Structure 1
Amino acid sequence: MDKWAELRTAYQVARLGTVSAAAEALGFHRATVIRHIDVLEAELGGPLFIRHARGYALTELGEDVLRVAQKTEELIDDMAGRANGAKAEISGEIKLTLLAPFAGLLMKAITRFREENPHCRVQIDVSEDLARLEYGEAQIALRAGTKPDHPDYVVRFFGRYGFNLYAHDNYIRRFGLPEGPDDMSGHQFVVSAVGGGRLPFRSWIDDHAHPEMIALESRNIEVNIAAMSAGIGMGFIADHEAAARGGFHAVLPPNKDWTAPLWLVTHVDLHRTEKVQAMLGCIKSELQNE
C-alpha cells in the first residue's frame, strides 16, 4: 500500500471530526480531503466513516485504520525529533493501560516523568479489556497474570504483588475482627463485580461470603475501598494499597495463591521511541528505589 498521504488525511478527519477542520489543519481544499478519503476507501475495500449531520464517525474499519495511523505518526514524530540532533522536548501524550488495583504502583514514576517532561500529558486507561498494543491502543501496558507471549511484544517482569482480605478500623469497631477463615459468621463483605477469572481470590469469596453476607458490590475499586473505609464490610484489596491507605488490617494469613505477577509490556515498534523510553526509565528508577 502506497497511500500514506491519504492515510494521514483520514487520520486528521478522524481526529478532528469534520472535513473542514482536517482541510484547515492540513492546508488542503475540502475537495482534496474528500478525494483522499474516497481513494483510501477504494483501496481498503470498505467505508472508513459514516457521514452524518455533525461530521464523520468512524466505522469499525476506520477505527483500525486510525490506530495504524496513530502509531505511524508516533514513529514519524520520534524519527523527526532524533533527526533534529539534540534531544527533542517530549510533548503530546503517552497512554498507559492497566487494571485499577495496580494504578498506585506507577504514580511515583509518572510524577518523575511529568517533572522531567512537563509538556507531555499522561493518559491512563483502566480497563479489564487488554489493549492491543499492535494497533496503538496504548504505548505501555501493565498486565497481570501469565506472561504475555505476543511475538511483537517486549515484556519485562515488573514484580509480584499480593492480595488479602482486609478490615478497616471503622469496620473492626462495629463488628470486630474474625479470628480466622472459619470465623466469618455475622460478618459483612464488600466484593468486586469483576469476572471471577481475573481475581485469584474469587473462589475464597464464593466459598465463604454467602449472598446474605454481601453488603455492597461494585466494579469500581475506589467505590469498594471507600465502602471498606466507612466500615460497611471487609474486602480483598492489594497489600500495597492497604499499606498506602492506612487503617486496614489483614484478616487472613498470606496466601501465595493470592499473588499475581505483573508484566511491563510495550510493542517492539514503539519500544525505542524517546517518549516510551523516558517513561520506562522513570518506572525502572522507581522500582530500584523501592
Structure 2
Amino acid sequence: MLFYTSMFFQYIAQYLKTRFQYRADLFVEFFSDLFSQAINLVFILIVFGHTSLLHGWNKDEIIFIYGFFLVPYALFSAFFNIWDFNERYIVKGELDRILTRPIHSLFQIILERMELESLVGAITGIAVMFYAGSRLGIKITWYDPFLFLVFVFGGALVYGGVFVMIACISFWADARTSIMPMMYNISNYGRYPVDIYNSVIRFVLTWILPFAFVGVYPASFFLGKKEWFGYAFLTPLIGIIFFTLSVFLWNHGVKKYRGAGN
C-alpha cells in the first residue's frame, strides 16, 4: 500500500510538471469544462421556463441534483479517462508497454491518463449545490459533510466500475467500437430524477447501469426525499461492488491478452 501511495504522488508530481509547461492549454481546458457545465445548467433553466414542476420536482431541486452529480463526475473524469482504451492500448499495442512494469496495469493506466484539471467541476458542483440549497432552505447537520464524501466516492466508483467493465470488452473484441461514447451519453440520464422515466429505464439506471447512484439517489438524502433514503445509503455499497467486479474482470481480461502482433 505504501508503494502504491508513493507511486500515486509521483505520478501526480510528474503530471503537474508537464501541465504547467503549457499553461495556455490548461486555461483553455478549464474554460471548456466550465462552458460545458454552464450549457447543461442553461438546459435545465430552459426546461423550467415552460413548466414549474417536473414530475413533482421543482427547478431548485433539479439544479441541486445536477450540482451533486458534478462532484463524483469530476473525480471520475480526473482519474478514469479510458474512453480510448481500445484504440490506444489494444489496437496500437501500448498495453504491452504497461505490462512490462511491476505495477498493476489498471493502476498505471488510470494515473497515466489522469486529468486533474477536471476536478474544477467539483468546485462548480459544490457552488451550485450551495446556491440551490440556500433557495430550498436546506439545513446542514454535523454529519452531512461526512455522508457527502461517502456518497461522492461511492458515485465515482460506480462510474469507474461501469466504464472499466466496458473497456474490458476490448480484451476479447479488439475491433474499434462505439460502445464507450454511447455509454457516456447514457450516463447523463443519472443527473435527473429517475421517476421521470418509465419503469424499464428506472430499473436499468438503478441495477444494470446504476448511474442513478451518481446523482439523484444520494442527492435525494440532502433534499429530504425519505422514500429514497434507502437507495442513497446503498450508494457506497453499489460503488464498491461494481468497481470490485470491474477489477476482477480486468484481471481476467489481462490474462487473455496476447499482444498487438498479427
**TM-score for both structures, normalised by structure 2:** 0.23
Greater fraction of residues in strand: 1
